[in-house]
Structure 1
Amino acid sequence: MELLEEDLTCPICCSLFDDPRVLPCSHNFCKKCLEGLLEGNVRNSLWRPSPFKCPTCRKETSATGVTSLQVNYSLKGIVEKYNKIKISPKMPVCKGHLGQPLNIFCLTDMQLICGICATRGDHTKHVFCSIEDAYAQERVAFESLFQSFETWRRGDALSRLDMLETNKRKSLQLLTKDSDKVKEFFEKLQHTLDQKKNEILSDFETMKLAVMQAYDPEINKLNTILQEQRMAFNIAEAFKDVSEPIVFLQQMQEFREKIKVIKETPLPPSNLPTSPLMKNFDTSQWEDIKLVDVDKLSLPQDTGTFISKIPSSSYHLVFVVLLLGLLIFFGPTIFLECSLFDELLIWK
């Protein structure tokens, strides 16, 4: 194409020929370029115009005007065809066979192929058709596929996404509410119980994390599916009016594959538990526990669906901390009672 463009370029303006005129010496130039040279020739001559010299070979030609020169219709037609070819889309080539154009449509695999693919490649003995027939057929298929894609489970996916987000919000709200109950209860206790309070609050935070770990992957998965759906829709909107068969068939193939992936991707369940809370949780059940029995203070055993994600070592640590608190709080009293008992034995 570059070599051809050199032959179609005017030597004066270095652009493609515009209304080319041929001189008697057979050299071609644009009409406007020759007019400019003739005007300069007239200005430089005092009495009468001197013969016009060809810019290429310097052969003289009578300066009777450019309009008298013959139009090179053949060259003009070649330039017009070249301009059309230059702006038209390039024929795509086969990825498997270098330089081979994709000029055949395989009806068996519904894709563009080259001649080598059809005769010696993976598509031998398949059913083929022309690009024009495939374009007409796939145009009809596109309309049907696009309409069915518009009614895809987007509404169902959005409904499930909203349900999951609502359930997550309710779970976190209920957990926060119970967490506030724990705060209110432990604020009435002595400083030695603060560590216990923090431990139980940490358990609630662990359960919150369990809720987020259960819901976030499903929500992210749905968001990804919806994003893929939007991308596929944009692709369809971008090429549904394409009239070039090759370009349309290529993009139709990508569109069909993307829809197939989207439709085959299963939607996550929407029936995850609303709340992982302990049943009938109430801090009032701790009010009857005596301070000496504070090691019996614990969360209810029925902790719902997500409790298995909370490490059991957290509860063991609670009891150890409470025992240490009791030793700090009651340590002097216990020591005094032991001393009195020993003295009583000696007295007896």
Structure 2
Amino acid sequence: MRRFEEELTCSVCYSLFDDPRVLPCSHTFCRSCLEGVIHLSSSFPVWRPLRVPLKCPNCRSVVEIPAGGTESLPVNFAVKAIIEKYQQEDQAEAATCSEHYRQPLNVYCLLDRKLVCGHCLTRGKHHGHPIDDLQSAYLREKEASGKLLEQLTDKHWADVCLLLEKLKEEKSRCESIVQVDKKAVVQYFKKLSDTLEDKKQALLTALDELNRRISEEYEPLIEKLKKIREEQLELMSLNTSVQKEESPLIFLEKVDEMNRRIKALKQKQLPDVKPVEIHPRVEHLLKNVWAKAEVGQIRKILVPKIKLIPARKLHSKGGGKEGREPKELLQAAGPYVVLLLFVITALHRDFHTRLQDVGDVLCHTFNVLMGFLGRVFSL
């Protein structure tokens, strides 16, 4: 049936006949198409004669339309039946227009380069566009498509391939750099983590050692006082039982024994509680030195040797937190800083005679250095 599609197509709208009507010249057209031709060619705006002359779009012969209009023209029932059967059989196979229901795509629009139906050309958005029949458009475009290969293999596509390779190489180079940097990050922070872990363990070890010395210092004294306290409580309990004794002889013997024990207990020498200070304080070091140090300098900070120092001796050498912090800073400083401070101390010989010990010398020198640096930066 498809090979007869041209015979079933209206020459005005290029679509399958819709309500086909036969002119007196025996040519068939859609009724709506004839109405449009009559409307365009009508020269009787006020009155209409009984018979309207019409030039056939196919043979160009002049025919007369009855007074009843196109409705009175005979229906081409044979063509109508063939079209209905054709549409029923080939509805699933034929490509139809998405905008006009069941209209086949049988015309090629040269302007938009796409298949359209007859309605798209007569009253749709392709109205007035240059057209061609499907077979001619197919043969012409098939011949032209052979030249597309030349456009796909010219210098432009060679440049595309070259640029693609360069982009891949650049991407690979950048990814390699990123991988190297990632490896450097892992190594750096592993080393930094190891350094921090070593410093942490060193400080904890120093504090554990300090705990051991504190136990050695205080535990014997505490045990001694515990024994004295236990003996005191025992004598108090013994006194209560002695007071209940009714036998004079036994009472006097027990009282005499208890007096001797009380006298001996009171003669025992009590330990001297000497207040001590922990120096330097790790808390102050972490806050005032470690927290302010650059990451790269952390491994150079020395772990101090923490000591128990008599409180009166510590306070007599500077007093309070303000007096301790410069020494803590100096103990945490590296050997090069200490050497520099000793050189500055040597240049200030008049101070040496007034300072008590090396710690005070370093402390005073540190203050001198800080004051000098403060004056320099204030300028």
The normalised TM-score by structure 2 is 0.29
| Greater relative CO, 1 or 2 (CA 8 Å, sep 6+) | 1
The normalised TM-score by structure 1 is 0.31
Higher-Rg member (1/2): 2
